Amino acid sequence: MAAAATLLACISGVLIALALASFLEIAAPALALRLSPVGVRGSEWIRRTLRPFRLASTEGLVPTDLERLRLQAVVAVVVLVLALSILGAVAGVVLSIASAWLAGRSLVWRRARYRRRLDAGASAAALALADALAAGQSVRGALIAAGAGLNGPIGVELRRVGRELEMGAQTDSALATLRSRARSRRITLIVAAVRIQRRSGGSLASLLREIATAIDEQDRLEEEANAASAQARFTSFVVLLLPLVAVVFGELAAPGMVGRIVASPLGLWLVGLAGVLQLTGTLLIRRLGRAEL
């Protein structure tokens, strides 16, 4: 039971550290108003350190190498100090390494979530551009108007394009930057439609409405595919959880079983190999169950 409690404490420590990092990033500006000058500088340093968390999820920005390393180092040190006082040296080192890795991966996960939300707003962006063009605006004016009227990541990206246009950037250049920044097939489709129409002519408003209809149809098909595979994916994850449940029941039936396994070098190797296989199975199930149309 002691080994199981230690393992649960390690996992909880990593999750609490990441949650604390997100909370401090949000609370730092409010705390700065109530602190001394030294505290204000410390609060500003915390806000700057945790800034990549916010920008990755709200603007999809990729942090610099220095920002990422600073974030990982701070999270690792904080977790190490906490774990050394509670769990000991070995667990503290393991937890600090794991938390630094998770801090880096959380930036990737937040950017991936941002891109998914960006894809979800592509249909609304196409319709907003079509409506602005139908009202008699130029492509540049339609991009600025669509950005002002949309919320979420798609609004953030279009407003960024609008600022570039207002500063004198060429339309094709601003759209190319949007495409490379978004890394979305749907945004690439909209950008391609605008650029082709600028070269070849035609009714861009009608083409954008057709694109919006196609995107909505794709969303409907993806929802149907996910619904059709939901039971199989759930069953697969239940099968993946069975070994963990067996370990818990084994520890309850024979207290000390986990401790004896961990105390054995062969047991540690087998547990590590089992963990790698479990993680590989989880990633494969996610990959196979993902609908890409």
pLDDT digit string (tens) for 218-254? 888 888 877 777 777 777 777 777 877 887 887 788 7
Note whether 100 and 165 are within 8 A (CB): no
**Is residue 44 very low, low, confident or very high in pLDDT (cuts 50, 70, 90)?**
low
Let me know whether 93 and 195 are in one domain.
no
Whether residues 65 and 131 share a domain: the answer is no
Domain housing 253: 229-293
Do 30 and 125 fall within a single domain? Answer: no
Rg of the chain, C-alpha, whole Å: 25
Q: Please, is 175 exposed, middle or buried when counting C-beta atoms within 10 Å of its C-beta (0-12, 13-18, 19+)?
A: buried
Looking at the fold, whether 213 and 236 belong to one and the same domain comes out as no
pLDDT digits (tens, 9 = 90+) for 66-114: 778 887 788 888 777 777 777 667 767 777 787 888 887 888 888 888 8
| 180 and 222 assigned to the same domain | yes
Measured over the CA atoms of residue 107, residue 60, residue 58 and residue 49, the dihedral's sign is positive
Q: Identify the domain boundary among 198, 227, 256.
A: 227
pTM, full prediction: 0.65
Amino acid at 135: A
How many domains does the chain contain in total?
3
Considering the domain architecture, whether residues 137 and 193 belong to the same structural domain is answered as yes
**What's the rounded Cα separation, in Å, for the pair 163 and 59?**
15
Residue that terminates a domain, selected from 65, 86, 114: 114
Q: Which of 26-40, 104-118, 244-258 is the least confident region? A: 26-40
Model confidence band, residue 1 (pLDDT cutoffs 50, 70, 90): very low
Residues 152 and 77 in one domain: no
Question: 104 and 128 share a domain?
Answer: no
Domain boundary among 227, 259, 275: 227
* pLDDT computed for residue 4 by the predictor: 47
Asked if residue 1 and residue 109 are part of one domain, the reply reads yes
- Residues 6 or more apart whose Cβ sits within 8 Å of residue 100: 72, 73, 75, 76
Is 159 in the same domain as 110?
no
Residues 107 and 125 in one domain: no
Q: What is the pLDDT of residue 18?
A: 55
Do 108 and 5 share a structural domain?
Answer: yes
